[in-house]
């Protein structure tokens, strides 16, 4: 069985930035400053997304060196699409993009929990898009390989037919 290897420095960077992001959010929680908590969550979401894209990119480069040049344009399109959503000038609006609507009389901690759940939901949606992109690329590759196999099979069939008719003559 073949196992892929993701460069450990990319995983370590992702882990470090995730810890820093959680620490920053927790620091702002102590001050009960909603605006600072929102900004910290947005920053954390952007960092995690960017680091995960780097991990995917490093994986593709280290494990698929033959196909990497063909996928560079597609990878950049995917990165651009994800960055556009995450790096709007104002960033995501935690109040309007949450999967759960704000409840009347909600406490500060309930809001933070809802915002955090919203961030996780957006990350899940982003990585669902990445997964769909990977499936699309694999399907296209498989389709190309089937077409190529059919051409090869047809060629050898034609050669076999020509050889058999040549021997009969």
Burial class (CB in 10 A: 0-12, 13-18, 19+), 123: middle
Reading the chain (169 residues) residue by residue, the pLDDT tens digits are 445 566 788 888 888 988 888 888 888 888 878 888 888 898 888 888 888 888 877 776 776 655 555 566 666 776 676 666 555 544 555 555 555 566 788 898 899 899 989 989 988 988 888 788 778 877 887 888 888 898 999 888 889 888 888 876 6
What pTM does this model have?
0.64
What sign does the CA torsion over 33, 34, 35, 39 have?
Answer: positive
For residues 117 and 20, what is the distance between their CA atoms, to the nearest angstrom?
18
Whether 44 contacts 22, CB under 8 Å? yes
């Amino acid at each position: 069985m073949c196992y892929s290897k993701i460069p450990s420095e990319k995983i370590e960077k992702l882990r470090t930035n995730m810890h820093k992001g959680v620490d920053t959010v927790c620091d702002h929680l102590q001050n009960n400053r909603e605006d600072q908590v929102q900004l910290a969550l947005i920053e954390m979401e952007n960092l995690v997304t960017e680091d995960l894209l780097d991990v995917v990119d490093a994986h593709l480069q280290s494990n698929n060196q033959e196909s990497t040049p063909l996928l560079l344009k597609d990878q950049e399109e995917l990165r651009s699409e994800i960055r556009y959503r995450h790096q709007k000038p104002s960033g995501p609006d935690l109040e309007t993009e949450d999967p759960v609507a704000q409840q009347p009389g909600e406490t500060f901690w309930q809001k933070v929990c809802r915002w955090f759940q919203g961030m996780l939901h957006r990350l899940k949606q982003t990585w669902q898009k990445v997964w769909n992109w990977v499936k699309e690329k694999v399907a296209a590759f498989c389709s190309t390989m089937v077409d190529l196999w059919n051409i090869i099979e047809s060629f050898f069939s034609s050669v076999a037919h020509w050889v058999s008719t040549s021997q009969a003559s």
